[in-house]
Structure 1
Amino acid sequence: MWGGVFVDDKLIKEALSHFECGQLNTDLQNSYNTFINDKSIIKQIKKLIKQFFYRFTKSYKLSRSNTPKIIFFCPWFDNFTHFILEAYPRLYLITKIFREQNRDFIVVVPPKKREFLTESLYKSFINPIFETLDIKEKDRIYTNHTNILISPAFISLKNVYLPTHIKYNKSVSFESIQKIKQYFYDKDFVWEYQNIYISRKKANRRKVNNEKEVIDFLSNHGFIEIDMEDLSFKDRVNIMMRAKNIIGVDGTNLTSMIFMPKDSNIVGLRSYDMQEFNQFSASMFDLNFYCIVCDVDDEILNHNNEAWFFSNLRVDVKYLESKLIEYEII
């Protein structure tokens, strides 16, 4: 289950990525009710064991204190787009207010383990963002740990602050991203390329099946290929701050465009049913976002009968060339 925030046994929708999540709301509430009402001996013993060991952790001690606790992330925290544009601005704004008021606080942070280990996400973007806001390890409560013995299904907290949603709020988003750019900008960073193709070849889905053909074409027009997975967060920020044109598969792959200079160009290679998140993001940061609809290769539909989430693409290079000329990118 994804996880949520409950007050008086009722799910608080502010803890989700938006207020109406339909079936997810129901599933979360039902999961909580089942957990609370399950009186089987085995389940009760498991609860007691976990609660016993959890009491010896730093997180438990922090959870029982009267210091304000901030919950800022949604169930989709493991997606960079959701974290950087939804969770992070909330955390940025409330910590800014607390510090202006000289108030102490504790931050409830994403789990170290869910259906999978999330430590790689901490290294990739969560820890660098905590570093930006000076969120130290001693001031963090983890909702889950890699050790199952100290990972109860639910944790109880006192004096909790859950910031309201500011999704796609231009003023807050722009200010919070400027904070990251100022913190990580390195004037001595060596990077000479303004035209970038962002590859997904190391991903397990939503790849470009004829990527070599695409890269060969783009390299003849001054583009260089990069893999975001190979770069530190600081390097990603500095590269994007120096880029003018980026091309890649539409989605989280392109979210780092928010670090680009104003009036830069982003070209999203997409399926026919791709969602419009990046257009909203681009508009907030005064960027030019162009879509190129590609053929869907190896179509795989998700639970909502959508092709964009899993399916690979095949790019018509001649059509790509015509659109890049139209957009005055080449």
Structure 2
Amino acid sequence: MINFDNLIIIAPIKNSWQFNQYIYPALLSLTKEHNPKLPFGIKKDNIICVNDRKPPLKSLLIANNVYVPTQVKFNKKYLLDAIEFLREFYYDKNFLGGSDRIYISRAKSSKRFLVNEKEFRKLLESKYGFKTIFMEEIDFKDKINYLSRAKVCLSIDGTSVLNYAFMRSGGKAVALRAMDMAEYPIDSIFGIEFLPIVCDIVNPKNTNHMDGDVGTWFASDLYADIPYIEEKLKSYEIEPYI
């Protein structure tokens, strides 16, 4: 039995790319202070950034187990086991509000959203029966319950697409993307059918971060051409509900 009070997380460098926006909030969600009901919550003080202070060498030297995650592509077996554990652990048979078609909107994001979001949402919701959700408003448990029930998920490509990992094998992951967007092997890792739809970039912006120039896809907004979207959905065998 693991004593989570003694669990220490060595976090990335605090000034690394998008740390404050994404990584640290995700780590805080695992703490007892922010989520008292979490059965495996850790102490907030046990999250140590490597440039914040020196790691507690004494604690590390007497550690019984050290867990060092690598890139997900090198740990397919363990990644799938972990996802299945979380999916079953948080699954709520009484969960309300789920849908077999989910649209993950980026309308509340600071970048890479659809400039014609309202028109696009109206199409998905009224004609194709999609339910729109905003990940910023949903806790981790509800995310898993939404995604594990969905047969089709649609979103703008990027980190949102990695949420598709909690879908059941055989699901369809539709991703709106720019032509030059980076590739994620979610189909080969998670057994989900990855179905891209290329959209036009609006007001292209070049982006640089610690890894260098990532191109225009990262920060530029997209335009969803409705007739083309419907054509692609039909080719992917996603038919209207009406």
Question: Equivalent pairs: percent with the same residue?
Answer: 31
**Is 2:102 the partner of 1:202?**
no
Alignment partner for residue 173 of structure 2, among 266, 270, 289? 266
Q: Deviations along 1:24-52, whole A, 9 cap, x unmatched?
A: xxxxxxxxxxxxxxxxxxxxxxxxxxxxx
Structure-1 residue corresponding to 2:217: 308
User: Corresponding residue for 1:318?
Assistant: 227
2:9 is aligned to 108
Equivalence for 1:182: 88
Matches of 1:270 and 1:286, distance apart in 2: 20
Which residue does the alignment assign to 1:251?
158
**Alpha-carbon distance, 1:136 to partner:** 3.3
- Normalised to the residue count of structure 1, the TM-score between the two structures is 0.59
- The match for 1:155 is 55
The match for 2:196 is 291
1:132, distance to aligned residue in structure 2 (A)? 6.9
SS in 1 for 2:8: strand
> What is the aligned-residue RMSD (CA, Å)?
3.2
Secondary structure in 2 matching 1:143: strand
Partner residue of 1:96? none
CA deviation after TM superposition for structure 1 residue 209, in Å: 0.6
The CA deviation string for residues 53-90 of structure 1, in whole angstroms up to 9 with x for no partner, is xxxxxxxxxxxxxxxxxxxxxxxxxxxxxxxxxxxxxx
Answer whether contact 1:270 1:293 (CA < 8 A) is retained. yes
How far is 1:255 from its partner?
A: 1.6
8 Å CA contact retained: 1:258, 1:282: no
* Structure in which a larger fraction of residues adopt helix: 1
Counterpart residue type for residue 129 of structure 2: G
Pick aligned residue for 1:121 from 10, 22, 26: 26
Which one of the candidate residues 230, 238, 241 is aligned to 1:329? 238
CA distance in 1, matches of 2:36, 2:10: 10
1:235 aligns with 2:127: no
Cα 1:261–1:162 change in 2 (3 A) is closer
Amino acid at match of 2:82: S
In structure 1, distance between residues paired with 2:186 and 2:221: 23
Are 1:216 and 2:122 matched, yes or no? yes
Structure-1 separation of matches of 2:146 and 2:199: 27
**Cα deviation, residue 302, structure 1:** 1.2
CA deviation string 1:281-308 (max 9, x = no partner): 2322211011111100011011215011
Structure possessing the higher radius of gyration over alpha carbons: 1
CA distance in 2, matches of 1:135, 1:212: 39
Q: CA 1:189–1:112 in structure 2 vs 1: closer, same or farther (change >3 Å)?
A: farther
Q: Is this contact kept in 2: 1:129–1:180, CA < 8 A?
A: no
Contact 1:112–1:119, Cα closer than 8 Å, also in 2: no
Work out whether residues 130 and 136 of structure 1, in 8 Å CA contact, stay in contact via their aligned partners in 2.
no
**Matching residue's letter, 1:218:** L
Q: Is the 8 A contact 1:301 1:310 kept in 2?
A: yes
Contact 2:202–2:220 (Cα < 8 Å) also in 1: yes
Structure-2 separation of matches of 1:185 and 1:162: 26
The CA distance in 2 between the partners of 1:133 and 1:177, in whole Å, is 17
Deviation of residue 152 (structure 1)?
4.3
Distance 1:263 1:166 in 2: 24
Cα separation, partners in 2 of 1:293 and 1:325, compared to 1, 3 Å: same
SS in structure 2 at match of 1:187: coil
**How far did residue 112 of structure 1 move?**
11
TM-score by length of 2: 0.79
| Shift of residue 221, structure 1, vs aligned partner | 1.3
Q: How far is the alpha carbon of 1:183 from its aligned partner? A: 1.2
- Structure 1 residue aligned with 2:182, among 275, 288, 310? 275
